[in-house]
Amino acid sequence: MVNDNMRVWIILWIFWVVGVVGGDIVQEKHDEVVERVESLLSALDERKHQVSELRRRKVELSKWLDKDNTTARTEEKLRASVRAAHAKEVVEEGLVELHDLER
């Protein structure tokens, strides 16, 4: 027969086994979670790097486009000046012909 002391020791041994086995399971899960979190943090750092690189490229492109737009506006102003000069020449030639006809 099993006496009361033996029952206590058996119950303590069962709790110890459950604790050891349960602790190992919890530790394994903990390690898996830590590994996953570290992986996600690494991916987040990579994304942050990509975003900063894209922002840098966007700034460079914006500067280039602004410069290009300024160049285009300048070219358009030059074309308008040429058209105006040509129109002035045509008008002056027309006035000269008109004066010649009046004489």
- Per residue in 12-28, pLDDT (tens digit) is 888 888 888 888 888 99
Higher pLDDT, 27 or 99: 27
- Quickly state the pLDDT bin for 81 (edges 50, 70, 90): confident
> What stretch of H or E contains 103?
none
Q: Which residues of 59-80 are buried (b: 16+ CB within 10 A; e: fewer)?
A: eeeeeeeeeeeeeeeeeeeeee
> Average pLDDT, whole number, for the chain?
86
Q: What percent of the chain has pLDDT over 70?
A: 97
Instruction: Give Cβ neighbours of residue 2 (< 8 Å, ≥ 6 apart).
Output: 10
pLDDT of 30 strictly over 70: yes
Across 77-81, average pLDDT: 85
